[in-house]
Amino acid sequence: MVDVGKWPIFTLLSPQEIASIRKACVFGTSANEALYVTDNDEVFVFGLNYSNCLGTGDNQSTLVPKKLEALCGKKIKSLSYGSGPHVLLSTEDGVVYAWGHNGYSQLGNGTTNQGIAPIQVCTNLLIKQVVEVACGSHHSMALAADGEVYGWGYNGNGQLGLGNNGNQLTPVRVAALHSVCVNQIVCGYAHTLALTDEGLLYAWGANTYGQLGTGNKNNLLSPAHIMVEKERVVEIAACHSAHTSAAKTQGGHVYMWGQCRGQSVILPHLTHFSCTDDVFACFATPAVSWRLLSVEHEDFLTVAESLKKEFDSPETADLKFRIDGKYIHVHKAVLKIRLGKIEREQVKAEEQNRTNGYFEDVSEKKKNYHVRCEHFRSMFQSYWNEDMKEVIEIDQFSYPVYRAFLQYLYTDTVDLPPEDAIGLLDLATSYCENRLRKLCQHIIKRGITVENAFSLFSAAVRYDAETQQEGTQPGGTGEEEAGFLLLSREPDVGLYLRTLESWPEPPRCTPVMNFFHLLVR
């Protein structure tokens, strides 16, 4: 699957528009025009519209995609474009359409009149089912389902393969290829390549930079067999804007020749690339795509994507947590894997870098860390009652907090407002989930403003009160960390809280209340 976002012109589209794209092509003298097909088989174009190459019926450029009604529902199979630019495409029904620049009759309509909208190419192709089209700078080629090749347009360098250099107003069959069945056809700026069903490669046309791969720089008016001593060729590539050729063999080797970064390579050169697209991604100027790109979405999900999808899924879950009367569906195997990991490296790092008093003695923490992780890992062993349960009640934490915690175990991400992140920070501290604790700290720190500082402070106090009511021993709690973050985020927040000096002394001496009281004083 290709990511069209790599092409700058597609940054003009919204995420929703990009998500709908199934096929796309970037073209134009500066890669400033684009055509794409959506999942509903609608065709859109946008960009500069030089020489009416967008086919919208006018010469107006557009930053907003315009629909080409004439092509919607046609099921585009192949698309190519020239330097004019002119555009050719064929549909799954084998029909060829053309529009754009026509100074050399490259539209194949028998005239040199510019095409402002897509029109069908009929002469000599009307009874043919065309499976592929290719455009050079100012010439056009078409491949029929029966293996026949047709060419038209500019032929000053013999790029049509007709044995002469006369221009053609309408499609003409390349007779020199009558004895072979061609499977693929591509065009460079002024040369053409053809690949047969037997893996044989033919080339003809301009050869100033060695783009024919014949070992010399002589133009050819008719097709010549090249790469004779190489293994079977399975794909060929060329681009109208370059004098470069590329081929991929059955063994996965990619060769390139012609104009390569200013050098003339007259014989196919073995590269380290894995596909022919890489040749033009690295050597083409401008960075246009040499063929219609497929962005079909994959039918399968990765393991990580599947795991995310199955969170809170009643269909596959084998355990439910009930919090505040609501259920969260999970899988015991996932919880055992995630909660049973003892991250000794993190404990060691904290032992070396501990500079504050927010945690108990490190030696004690190491002991507790091991015990707590073993507690959760062992929860679903056969000798624990929880292993036999289908529903586990949780009353220490709120539903949003515990759901966010369980979802984190499936996705490695946290999506909570700062107010709830304080509660999740307390949970992470209690469960010794160091990475989760850091994520919560980041959320709280990033979300603190003068407007919400008071509500965050109140949330921290509320969670501290709940902890005290449950009989938990205070010290090194997530609320205390949240309080520190509240006052360290930015000077304005600290100043705001320090204006609360008229607050009465806390009625009970809890660490969080004393901590805040000292800071605001």
Average confidence (pLDDT) per 10 residues, the chain, 521 residues? 74 89 86 91 94 93 95 95 92 96 95 95 93 96 97 98 97 96 96 97 97 97 94 94 93 93 92 88 71 68 80 91 93 68 40 44 40 49 61 90 91 86 86 85 81 72 54 46 49 46 44 39 42
pLDDT recorded at residue 235: 96
pLDDT recorded at residue 308: 86
pLDDT recorded at residue 134: 97
Beta strands across the sheet bearing 233-238: 233-238, 244-249, 254-260, 263-270
pLDDT recorded at residue 300: 59
Distance linking the first and last C-alpha atoms of the chain: 59
pLDDT recorded at residue 463: 56
pLDDT recorded at residue 77: 94
Host H or E run for residue 235: strand 233-238
Per the rule left: phi > 0, alpha: psi between -120 and 50, beta: everything else, 124 is: left
* pTM listed for this prediction: 0.60
pLDDT recorded at residue 160: 98
Q: How far is CA 141 from CA 80, 122, 171, 214, 291, in A?
A: 10, 14, 8, 21, 14
Residue 226 pairs in a beta bridge with 201
pLDDT recorded at residue 229: 87
pLDDT recorded at residue 460: 65
Are the CB atoms for 85 and 100 separated by under 8 Å? yes
Could you list the beta-strand ranges (E) of 250-404.
254-260, 263-270, 293-294, 319-323, 326-330, 391-393
CA distance 485 to 199: 67
CA distance 239 to 186: 8
